């Protein structure tokens, strides 16, 4: 039955490929698709790391990606390597100098015991390249005890396109409350970068509490400012999943989600935005962009929770014209859902939407959104449109959609798959691809990183893949992206 399911998926993909093009939209193609991660460099484990036996060699999740504005053929990615119950053995870096055709894998010195540090695990990697070619890394290293984990948000910088990295700087000290940090390099001011994360009750049991935190560097990552509270959630709520954007006029915009427990016991997620006109010294009162109830969804065949995030881990981008876009998944059942987009044309002061991407009606999750230098909007995500209830695999594919009219219309392209989501690592009881994937804009087209399980993955239960997605008239060697 598994063979029939994958054959049916392939037939569906062929049918989609034969559909006529949308008016005014040239077809986008996958110009390059390759495995990025490779065999684990830590297959024998990390001596002395607590709970190291829970790590799975070759299990990779949560990739992020950036493109060097000083050299667009220099692409840098990061991901978690050897995932286990308590995060991974370390975060890895992949760097390319030829537009993604070949890659060199390196480590962040001192990030975990596997790379010469003192932490038991690492998690939540992110990368961002700024003006002048500096590439910034942010992540978490975890110090474990039998009772709990303490995470510290750390940062590093590379001056050679991701091939070597500076010593780690701790931005937020170890705490059981520290969660995912996202770094953003300032494209207009060399040496400036911004870090946003959330500080919350680790138990996640009502009453909830948490805050949105911010720090910045003005000296190229050698030092970071003391953490600053940007927003304090109301009682029984916490802020989460923030991301800083730098608008064309230099204004900083942070988009973040707030989870609240309603009086009836249900959960509400609200997307907010706050602005700073002095590069993070002061911030405006957050404005609401959109709100929706959180609706967890379970796999009907196993009862295990599926990976919808409902705005918790959204993805945001800013276009050359200053328009801001935020994408997230919105699923209503195990077989129905979509990817939604909110838009601001005034720098985050007011918002329109959400608007679903037309043609996405199956369970969909973990979108990443970006815009290329020509203003084309791109989104990648996973969905289950080709899954068949009752068979062995949970058939999952990676999809891409592009819009040349600011999200008014979309054209889809199949990127990768099918693969079996149930084959992904499940150290905590449910299959995991992580909480996010990565997409970055090129001159024309996009660079994407994402996770796939078997049968696409070859080195362990999952592999990280790279894809270059571009219009059909852009050559395969990437020369138009120089």
- The tens digit of pLDDT for each residue in 343-370 reads 999 999 999 989 999 999 999 999 999 9
pTM over 0.85: yes
**Distance (Å, whole) CA 7 – CA 345:** 44
For residue 476, pLDDT over 90 is answered with no
Q: What are the beta bridge partners of residue 182?
A: 196
> What pLDDT score does 7 carry?
42
As a whole number of angstroms, the longest Cα–Cα distance in the chain is 60
Backbone CA torsion sign across 97, 37, 469, 371: negative
Average pLDDT, the chain: 90
Percent of the chain with pLDDT over 90: 73
For residue 6, pLDDT over 80 is answered with no
> What pLDDT score does 267 carry?
85
Strongest mean pLDDT among 63-67, 129-133, 144-148, 421-425: 63-67
For residue 336, pLDDT over 50 is answered with yes
Closest-CA residue to 281 (of 333, 230, 246): 230
> What pLDDT score does 293 carry?
86
Residue 276 main-chain phi, psi, to 5 deg? -135, 130
**Distance (Å, whole) CA 384 – CA 391:** 13
25: pLDDT confidence band, cut at 50, 70 and 90? Answer: low
| 102-129 b/e (C-beta count within 10 Å ≥ 16 → b) | ebebbbbebbbbbbebebbbbbbbbbbb
More confidently predicted of 423 and 432: 423
| pLDDT per position as a tens digit, 367-398 | 999 999 999 999 999 999 999 988 989 999 99
């Amino acid at each position: 039955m598994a063979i029939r399911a994958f054959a049916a998926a392939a037939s569906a993909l062929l049918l989609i490929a034969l559909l006529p093009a949308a008016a005014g939209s040239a077809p986008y193609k996958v110009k390059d698709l390759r495995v990025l991660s490779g065999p684990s460099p830590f297959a024998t484990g990390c001596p002395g790391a607590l709970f190291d036996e829970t790590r799975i060699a070759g299990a990779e999740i949560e990739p992020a990606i950036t493109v060097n504005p000083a050299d667009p053929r220099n692409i840098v990615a990061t991901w978690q390597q050897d995932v286990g119950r308590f995060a991974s053995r370390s975060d890895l870096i992949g760097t390319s100098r030829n537009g993604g055709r070949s890659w060199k894998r390196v480590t962040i010195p001192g990030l975990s015991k596997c790379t010469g540090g003192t932490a038991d695990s690492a998690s939540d990697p992110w990368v961002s390249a700024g003006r002048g070619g500096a590439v910034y890394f942010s992540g978490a290293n975890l110090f474990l005890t039998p009772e709990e984990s303490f995470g510290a948000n750390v940062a590093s910088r590379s001056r050679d396109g991701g091939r070597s990295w500076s010593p780690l700087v701790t931005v937020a000290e170890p705490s059981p409350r520290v969660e995912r940090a996202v770094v953003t390099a300032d494209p207009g001011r060399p040496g400036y970068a911004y870090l946003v994360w959330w500080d919350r009750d680790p138990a996640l049991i009502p009453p909830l509490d948490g805050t949105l935190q911010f720090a910045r560097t003005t000296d190229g990552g050698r030092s970071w400012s003391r953490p600053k509270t940007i927003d304090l959630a109301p009682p029984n709520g916490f802020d989460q999943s923030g991301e800083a954007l730098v608008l064309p006029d230099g204004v900083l915009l942070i988009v973040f989600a707030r989870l609240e427990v309603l009086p009836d016991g249900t959960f509400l997620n609200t997307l907010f935005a706050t602005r700073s006109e002095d590069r993070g010294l002061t911030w405006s009162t957050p404005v609401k962009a959109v709100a929706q109830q959180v609706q967890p969804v379970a796999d009907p065949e196993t009862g295990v929770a599926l990976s919808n995030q409902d705005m918790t881990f959204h993805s945001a981008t800013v276009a050359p014209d200053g328009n801001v876009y935020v994408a997230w998944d919105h699923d209503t059942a195990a077989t129905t859902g979509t990817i939604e987009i909110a838009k601001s044309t005034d720098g985050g002061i007011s918002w329109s939407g959400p608007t679903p991407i037309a043609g996405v009606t199956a369970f969909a999750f973990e979108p990443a959104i970006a815009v290329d230098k020509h203003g084309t909007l791109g989104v990648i995500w996973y969905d289950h449109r080709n899954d068949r209830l009752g068979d062995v695999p949970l058939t999952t594919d990676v999809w891409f959609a592009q819009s040349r009219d600011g999200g008014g219309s979309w054209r889809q392209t199949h990127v990768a798959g099918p693969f079996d989501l149930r084959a992904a690592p499940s150290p905590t009881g449910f299959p995991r691809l992580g909480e996010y994937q990565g997409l970055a804009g090129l001159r024309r087209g996009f660079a994407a990183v994402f996770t796939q399980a078997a049968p696409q993955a070859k080195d362990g239960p999952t592999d990280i893949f790279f894809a270059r997605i571009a219009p059909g008239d852009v050559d395969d060697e990437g020369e138009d992206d120089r």
